[in-house]
Amino acid sequence: MLIAVTGVYFVLIKVAPLAPHMKKKLTSSLVNSLEPKSEDYEVYDSEETGFCCVVRPSGTKSFCVRYRNRNGQKRAYTIGKAGNFTCKQARDAAKKLIGQINNGIDIQEEKKNRKQKFELQKQQKLGTFFDEKYEPYLLSHTKTKEKRAYLIKNYFLEEWKNKQLTEINQWLVISWRKDELARGLSHAGVNRPISALKAMLERAVEWGVIDNNPLKNVKALHEDPNPIIRFLSKEEEIRLRKALSQRQNLKRLKRASFNEWRSQRGKNLLPVRIKTFTDHLMPMVILGLNTGLRWGELFDLKKLDADLKTGQLVIRGEVDKAGTTGYVPLNKEALLTVKQWLAQNLEDQSDLLFPSPVTGKRLDNITSSWRKLMEQAEIKNFRPHDIRHTFASKLVMRGIDLYTVSRLMRHANVKTTQRYAHLAPDHKARAVEVLND
């Protein structure tokens, strides 16, 4: 069509819009200029085969790779929206995808499988993840990482094992921390379990089980370099020992009652042997009170570690916190306890001194039985580890010097033993008395 303007003729040419499947080098300006139509259409990149921009009637523009799989079926793989990717970023991504396609990979099917796997992983429960993946991983690594397994089992698994990993969040953990502090756990006592849980979730991120670590921003509480030491008073120790005896008597009564029930129904009676101890808890507590052994060390003790002739326990280097083999002397009560325990378990095939009564393998916690024992003894804010503090505190209060206590506790540094110094008899007051002369 000709139009005359002040004597000059112009020819108006109608520019047709890009036709579907038209090839052009995809650039930002080109993508921005694409107008929506009544139906989807694609503009293919002239540089990368199969790379295109899909324009929807809604105006949404997405980068995509079109291809055929090994069966000749048409497939489409969406890279992402144009607003989220530049043309260069999308083209680079397309190059990698096309390379996979050329190697026979159906990228859309792979994406679908990854998504399904991810959805299943997100639904994975803490107990399942720990048992099937994390604990086997820890057991193949260092002793320090085994400690993480103990902390997670001892503090979280019992109550949270059925929670999905995605349900564990900052609010849940901070609430747990608040409750444990109210029960008397120290800052260090809550920091270590949370650190272990955080490390586990970080590993879950690395393994692609969850997107991110929800505890990443949970800060450790400040730890007092001179924390208050919790140990049993004389009255509490009496109540503890009484509760241990009552617990054993109750177990014996239950066995007798069960046999009576079986007898009334004509069933065979279960064998009843008179044993000094009904299970491992009482001998372990007695050993802890008299040796100051850590619970992990008690769990790791083997029968051969008990030298009854010399009255000592051997703490092997691979078990000791400092990594060195040590010897723990047994007093009369501790030695008698070990002898009685070994005598009643002669038929036990395990090489461990205190194997799990359920699995026959290494124990890893006494959480449930300990809580019940504390309730029975009416003792509050007292952890299993405080048995070790009780051992050291009693020695210091009875005048044993800190160096000797440090050796018995097998502290790597005597400074660690200094926390008990305030319990020693008032030797400072006695020292200045010499000035009176």
pLDDT of residue 430: 63
Average pLDDT, integer, range 419-423 = 79
How far is residue 14's CA from residue 16's CA, in Å, rounded to a whole number?
6
pLDDT above 70 for 164: yes
How far is residue 335's CA from residue 410's CA, in Å, rounded to a whole number?
19
Burial 276-294 (b: 16+ CB within 10 A, else e): ebbebbbbbbbbbbbbbbb
How far is residue 36's CA from residue 60's CA, in Å, rounded to a whole number?
8
How far is residue 41's CA from residue 55's CA, in Å, rounded to a whole number?
5
Token look-up 């002669």 returns 346
- Which of the two residues, 428 and 33, has the higher pLDDT score? 33
Whose CA is closest to 192, among 324, 296, 45?
A: 296
Burial of 180 (0-12, 13-18, 19+ CB in 10 A): middle
Whose CA is closest to 410, among 301, 314, 337, 306?
A: 314
The pLDDT confidence band at residue 177, using thresholds 50, 70 and 90, is very high
Which percentage of the chain shows pLDDT scores above 90?
43
Topology of the domain comprising 260-423: hpI Integrase; Chain A (1.10.443)
Q: What is the mean pLDDT of the chain?
A: 84
The pLDDT confidence band at residue 112, using thresholds 50, 70 and 90, is confident
pLDDT above 80 for 227: no
pLDDT, one tens digit per residue, over 331-356 is 999 999 999 999 998 888 899 999 98
The pLDDT confidence band at residue 34, using thresholds 50, 70 and 90, is very high
Give the Cβ contact number of residue 108 at 10 Å.
18
- Which of the two residues, 197 and 154, has the higher pLDDT score? 197
Average pLDDT, integer, range 35-57 = 93
How far is residue 330's CA from residue 96's CA, in Å, rounded to a whole number?
68
pLDDT above 80 for 18: no
How far is residue 366's CA from residue 294's CA, in Å, rounded to a whole number?
13
State the amino acid at position 336 in one-letter form. Answer: L
Residues 243 and 376: beta-carbon distance below 8 Å:
yes
Residues 265 and 405: beta-carbon distance below 8 Å:
no
pTM value? 0.55
Average pLDDT, integer, range 159-182 = 91
Mean pLDDT is highest, among 10-19, 326-335, 414-423, for 326-335
pLDDT of residue 323: 65
Alpha carbon separation from 354 to 202, 279, 285, 330, 363 (Å, rounded): 33, 9, 12, 17, 7
pLDDT of residue 14: 39
The pLDDT confidence band at residue 378, using thresholds 50, 70 and 90, is very high
Average pLDDT, integer, range 133-146 = 75
CATH superfamily placement of domain 22-116: Integrase, DNA-binding domain (3.30.160.390)
pLDDT above 90 for 429: no
